[in-house]
Amino acid sequence: MSEEANLSPHDRTLYEKLYASHGDITIASSCAAFILKKGWHSYSFFRRGSVVIQQIAFTTTMIVAYARPFAGGRGNIDFPKRLLQYDEDEKALHARLLQLRNQEYAHSDASTISVRPLKGSLVTSIHTMRDISFQPPELRLFLEMTAGLGARIQQRLEEIRLKG
């Protein structure tokens, strides 16, 4: 039978944060791989049938799951920035994903929506559609950066576990 690691409260909280974060990053990466496989690189409104909602669901999940580790919560401990180790392109994509999460998905940010009410009875408003898509090079970059991040998280988890 295995004995539980004897971790300090800080290390236990960090371990839990990193463990949950690894799961989130894995989900985000899986969504990106699926989007890439399906070829969903244009806006969803160009699609037909149930593909529209599938594309929106996978894209939304990719963004929200990726950004979750970098938001507050989970024991009030921040994600260790030293684990990111991103190059300039990866930093730019990271920033874009966090911005999308904050403006498009986590909050109803009025600055991202344009709507004009109309007086007609058939058409009552004209609005912009909230629709996000990623090109294949962006998705491949995302898969590379999340693979590296996932490996660094696992390495840090092992370091913490062995301390206890």
Give a yes or no: residue 75 inside a domain. Answer: yes
Contact 25, 154 (CB under 8 A): no
Contact 31, 58 (CB under 8 A): yes
Q: DSSP strand E in the chain: where?
A: 115-117, 125-127
Give a yes or no: residue 42 inside a domain. Answer: yes
Looking at the 3D structure of the chain, how many domains does it have?
1
Q: Which residues of the chain have pLDDT under 70?
A: 1, 43-48, 73-75, 107-116, 118, 120-130
Give a yes or no: residue 121 inside a domain. Answer: no
State which residues form the domain around 53.
9-108+127-163
The 10s digit of each residue's pLDDT in 37-77 is 999 887 666 666 778 888 889 999 999 999 999 987 655 78
**Both tokens of residue 46?**
């160009």
Position 30 scores a pLDDT of 99
Burial of 132 (0-12, 13-18, 19+ CB in 10 A): middle
Give a yes or no: residue 120 inside a domain. Answer: no
**Both tokens of residue 161?**
């576990």
Give a yes or no: residue 139 inside a domain. Answer: yes
Position 157 scores a pLDDT of 97
Contact 8, 16 (CB under 8 A): no
Position 13 scores a pLDDT of 92
Position 5 scores a pLDDT of 82
**Both tokens of residue 143?**
């898969």
Position 60 scores a pLDDT of 93
Give a yes or no: residue 117 inside a domain. Answer: no
